[in-house]
Structure 1
Amino acid sequence: MNSDAFETRRYLALWFPFLPADRIRIVRRNGSSLSVDTPFALVENVKGAIRLAAIDPAARKQGLVPGLTLADARARVPELAVHDHDPAADARWLDRLSEGCGRYTPMATALPPDALLLDITGCTHLFGGELTLVADAVKRLKKLGMATRFAFAPTSEAAYALARWGKGGADDEEEAVRRLPVAALALDAEKELGLRRAGLKTIGMVAERLRPGIAARFGEETVTALERLLGHSRRPLGAFPKKAAIHAERRFPEPVARTEYALEILSQLLREAGEELYRRGKGGRCFEARFFRADGLAKKLSVELGRPTRDPEEAMRLFRERIDTLDDPIDPGFGFDAIRLSVAIQEDLPPSQIGIEGDTDRESRIAAMIDRLSVRLGRNGVVRCHPVDTHIPEACQRLVPAIEKPKEASWPRPAPGEPPRRPLQLFDPPEPIRVTAEVPDGPPWRFIWRGRDHRVTLFEGPERIASEWWRSPRDPLGETRLTRDYYRVEDSEGRRYWLFRHGLYAREKRNMRWYMHGLFA
């Protein structure tokens, strides 16, 4: 394998051949458990037929394979136990396993539907070498109940292919890759069948052929997959989580079984991270804590702040608030054997000046309140209005999470002494009204709104707002976008309203409509 460009990288792939069935057995441990000797399968509806989607080792020993109809499977194995297949739950389970493997490297990611990929470059010496690391991982996964196959390689594609299709017995990784079946190229079924019919049954057989001939007969994607598998080229891996610049970690010789003690350790890690943030002149806006259980699973908690902070007590309060809102509390199981804290988002945090009047921290108190409410109610539970660059009044703002960092935008401010150009109360959508005017395109002098007749004594306008033709061809009123003429009017009782005429007379439409859009104080 040509590994000159990749000699500093090492990947570990973990493949779970029976992940759906293993997940169901693990979930059922506290309830109606299944015997390991009982054939078990997961089923799904495929074009009106109930078929096997996944099986366990006992079912495979009985000759069952995915794709069989349930009726055929039951005829062969009457004692077959079945459960509905849930790919989304399998994906969430795979993500949990990926979090658990974060104990070995921060560069661990899921490869749906049934594998994990770990970039273990520079991490193996912490565990006594590659074999010691993978032995610990497989031991934990086996204790959890997951059947696992693994492989190492200098490229991610080769590591996964060796774990998925490798048979062992080769002296080196390059020879092992060349012995793999052409299924390891992960091509579509038609191309794979074409390779087999051409007598090319292994990666080595395909590699011996000239690349232009392979591309002409089986497509350029076949050559690309072959080059990546052999290590002659690589695909950028964007699935790995971004490594935090600041993190702190504790590993324990004996698992920690008490949640309160684990939270005390988290508080210590927050203090360490705060000191490092202070040295760098930074503050954290997102803190992530991972609690690694002895059985191989991990629990991830994160808190986000509206403003950067390096105060460990403030961050710890938010973590406790988050824990109080969890549907499933932090369960240590057989205990936590490692806890890691990462500062996922950092920003500059210069020193602040304390004012003499004592009210300079008002913004900080408001930000702290928003942080606490957002933790309890969720990120989208506390919102604020953000300006939008448009002239259409009902579309000039949108709701964004209050905890989100505001973008550069501002509301237009009236000049000193000038009355407000927009009402405090806006109707969305605008309410239709009946208007009487001296001429069709003139100002209103009487209107009926919500069954009441109003006589106009003062008016100001029109303020003309043209349609935004580059956006949707229809406006919120359900009509083709038309020009609006707005009037600020006052009735005989002193109440002030914001009305508009929808459309220009004769130029855009004959029968124009009027709408009430807002009320001034």
Structure 2
Amino acid sequence: MAVALPNLPVERVRRRERAAGSGAPDDRPLVIVERQGAALRIVALDAAAEAAGARPGLPLTEARAIRPDLRAVPADAAADHAMLTAVADWCDRYTPLVALDPPHGLLLDVAGCAHFFGGEAAMAQDVAQALARQGLTARVSVAGGAGVARALAWFTPGGVATPEEERARLAALPVAALGPAEAVRTGLARAGLTTLGQLAARGRGELAARFGFGLVAALDQAFGRVDPPISPRRPAPARMIERRFPEPVLTQDAVVAACRALAGALAGRLEAAGEGVTRVEAAFFRADGKVSRISVATGRPTRDPDMLLRLLRERLDALADPIDPGFGFDLVRLSALAVEPLAPEAVSLDPGAAEEGAVAELVDRLAARHGRRRVLRFLAGDVHRPEGEARARPAQAMSTGGGRSAARAASWPAPSVAEPPRRPLRLFADPEPIEVLAEVPDGPPIRFLWRRVAHAVARAEGPERIALEWWRRDPGALTRDYFRVEDAEGARFWLYRDGLYVCEAEHPRWFLHGLFG
């Protein structure tokens, strides 16, 4: 299905002015202008301006000579693209495979979807009428290929055609339906080739030799000989279930009840397929065309509908800008964006297993409320340097349910209660330089100055020598000798000498890396 929105720039401006609601509407003829060379030229216009004699490509000065009260608005390609994207979001209600066809068109893969709307003709009519209620003029065409549908939508009234009718309609279309360059279009006109039927009657080699292979490729797409795949804006969900309302619903209780029913139905489909979901998206389609989406993720595959509903409610409650029902939601959809195999497993009687499940559920709820990247867990890094030994990663990506993540989590050394900690629990973001006095150059410090405060060392333990891994090449990375020291007042510090004396540095520098307790 191809959806052509020929008046999108003009209708976007009209919609913006109606939404602003400032005073009486401006009914003067409207044109959209863009600077081309040294002149402002018309790129889009409404019916009143067209009736007055304006046309695309006409300089604005000439158009105002015809109609002095003409109203001109500068073109805004970014706003037009945003409007087209919003229409594409709304079209997701018909199929999840929606692609943009810039500058003012859409392509929908409706294979297997039309019967839900009473057939292809009824579906095309529903799309056109629904967009008309939103103030958008749309020509909708359904054909066997994307190129055929696009050409029919832009250069015919649209509709659905049989394969035989498609070829007859295409043959009567002008060569502009292929979108050729101006030089190619002029050359075709001089050769007397004005319709696609006339082009199709010529040999491919002849056309390619005279007008380039691009024209032949466009002709093949228009006639459906080559049908490039549609690249949808969003990946198709693995599982999807939706509920349509005969009348738009306005209350959050009705929306939550719909999500509860959809979660139960989705869980049934996942169970039948032996799968569990790890990412779910809920989409709320408003009657006026706006679409709101929220998504939640889980650390482990699940198909528990109660858990999915809790996560969705957490996400809804945490929104800084709550979802506005506007004129009401007429469609709610629940999509499984990512699934994994989930085989039935025996219920463990080990209390530790239940505790792990409760922790994983807590992580999921916190991530749904605060964001996946704000709920972190430290992963043991296979490096020698202390600052790289622990890496913060999203906790959901490190579920303790088993596998590689569990193995990494188990690689942390078990703490000993009989001995004091070898390293501080928290390190400075950057080691802080200190001034040190030592009895011998490569010995422990006896006195150091940190943040303008002098500390006399009462006890010292070390060194603990830490060097860069042998396979890493970094000329600036020196060997470190770490010391655990305690000053006369009982405060304990973790500091190091950066570089071996004489071997790596003539005068090694000292740094404080963390505090104990």
Q: TM-score range by the shorter chain?
A: 0.7 to 0.9
Q: How many residue pairs align between the two structures?
A: 500
Aligned to 1:318: 311
Query: 1:447 and 1:42, CA in 2 relative to 1: closer, same or farther beyond 3 A?
Result: farther
Instruction: Using the TM superposition, give the Cα deviation of residue 467 of structure 1 relative to its aligned residue in structure 2, in angstroms.
Output: 8.9
Distance 1:48 1:399 in 2: 56
Deviations along 1:400-449, one digit per CA (max 9) or x if unpaired, are 44444669452643377587665322222322223445676776554322
Query: 1:482 and 1:258, CA in 2 relative to 1: closer, same or farther beyond 3 A?
Result: closer
| Amino acid of the structure 1 residue aligned with 2:452 | G
Aligned to 1:482: 477
| Structure 2 residues not aligned, in runs of 5+ | none
Q: Please state if 1:20 is matched with 2:9.
A: yes
Q: For residues 111-510 of structure 1, what are the structure 2 equivalents within 5 Å?
A: 111-166=101-156, 172-186=165-179, 201-208=194-201, 210-211=203-204, 220-239=213-232, 241-256=234-249, 258-324=251-317, 325=319, 327-331=321-325, 333=327, 335-349=328-342, 350-351=344-345, 353=347, 355=349, 357=351, 360-386=353-379, 391-395=384-388, 398-404=391-397, 408=404, 410=408, 412-414=411-413, 422-436=423-437, 446-455=447-456, 457-465=460-468, 481-493=476-488, 495-502=491-498
Distance 1:65 1:393 in 2: 70
Contact 1:17/1:148 (8 A) holds in 2: yes
Distance 1:40 1:222 in 2: 35
Q: Secondary structure at the match of 2:267?
A: helix
Aligned to 1:514: 510
Query: 1:422 and 1:253, CA in 2 relative to 1: closer, same or farther beyond 3 A?
Result: same
Distance 2:364 2:283 in 1: 20
Deviations along 1:252-287, one digit per CA (max 9) or x if unpaired, are 445545553343233222222223333444332333
Aligned to 2:84: 94
| Larger mean Cα displacement after TM superposition, 362-371 or 402-411 | 402-411
Query: 1:512 and 1:224, CA in 2 relative to 1: closer, same or farther beyond 3 A?
Result: farther
Contact 2:466/2:481 (8 A) holds in 1: yes
Instruction: Using the TM superposition, give the Cα deviation of residue 330 of structure 1 relative to its aligned residue in structure 2, in angstroms.
Output: 3.8
Q: Secondary structure at the match of 2:170?
A: helix
Distance 1:21 1:244 in 2: 35
Deviations along 1:446-481, one digit per CA (max 9) or x if unpaired, are 4322123345533223211259867xx8xxxxxx74
Contact 2:467/2:478 (8 A) holds in 1: yes
Distance 2:228 2:48 in 1: 37
Instruction: Using the TM superposition, give the Cα deviation of residue 60 of structure 1 relative to its aligned residue in structure 2, in angstroms.
Output: 4.3
TM-score by length of 1: 0.78
Query: 1:276 and 1:151, CA in 2 relative to 1: closer, same or farther beyond 3 A?
Result: closer
Query: 1:151 and 1:499, CA in 2 relative to 1: closer, same or farther beyond 3 A?
Result: same
Contact 1:21/1:55 (8 A) holds in 2: yes
| Structure 1 residues not aligned, in runs of 5+ | 1-11, 474-479
| Larger mean Cα displacement after TM superposition, 212-221 or 369-378 | 212-221
Contact 1:466/1:484 (8 A) holds in 2: no
Deviations along 1:468-514, one digit per CA (max 9) or x if unpaired, are 867xx8xxxxxx74334241331444554444445566776656543
Distance 1:214 1:419 in 2: 85
Instruction: Using the TM superposition, give the Cα deviation of residue 175 of structure 1 relative to its aligned residue in structure 2, in angstroms.
Output: 3.8
| Amino acid of the structure 1 residue aligned with 2:426 | Q
Query: 1:22 and 1:419, CA in 2 relative to 1: closer, same or farther beyond 3 A?
Result: farther
Distance 1:77 1:93 in 2: 29
Query: 1:80 and 1:450, CA in 2 relative to 1: closer, same or farther beyond 3 A?
Result: farther
Distance 1:181 1:506 in 2: 84
Structure ranking higher on relative contact order (CA contacts 8 Å, 6+ apart): 1
**CA RMSD across the alignment:** 4.2
TM-score by length of 2: 0.78
Instruction: Using the TM superposition, give the Cα deviation of residue 112 of structure 1 relative to its aligned residue in structure 2, in angstroms.
Output: 3.7
Distance 1:86 1:387 in 2: 51
